[in-house]
């Protein structure tokens, strides 16, 4: 849902999903407890930080001017006047 709101506001948006468990839809797996979820989240957070540290310099090196202008123009067109 956030991506829709960001687009309406003329913002460029990306997300990183951190999966903590699969037991909510897999009947053949043992259910997890809070401790297991927190441990998985701790590991996922470390991986996400590595991804961001590697990606951000590359993202910062890109000239986003055209993409920002296009997103802002699209947001302006979405407003009913």
pTM beyond 0.85, yes or no: no
- The overall average pLDDT reported for the chain is 88
Does pLDDT of 23 surpass 90?
no
21 is catalytic: yes
**Cβ proximity of 31 and 25 under 8 Å:** no
Is 90 exceeded by the pLDDT of residue 61? yes
Given the residues 23, 28, 63, 76, the one annotated as active site: 23
Indicate whether 24 pLDDT > 70: no
* 66 classed as catalytic: no
CA dihedral 39, 41, 47, 50 (to 10 degrees): -110
Catalytic residue (one of 21, 28, 63, 66): 21
């Amino acid at each position: 849902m956030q991506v829709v709101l960001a687009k309406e506001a003329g913002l460029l948006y990306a997300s990183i999903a951190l999966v903590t468990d699969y037991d909510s839809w897999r009947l053949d797996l043992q259910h997890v407890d809070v401790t297991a979820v927190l441990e998985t989240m701790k590991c996922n957070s470390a991986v996400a930080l590595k991804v961001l540290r590697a990606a951000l310099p590359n993202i910062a090196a890109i000239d986003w001017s055209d993409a920002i202008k296009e997103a802002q123009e699209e947001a302006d067109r979405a407003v009913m006047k």
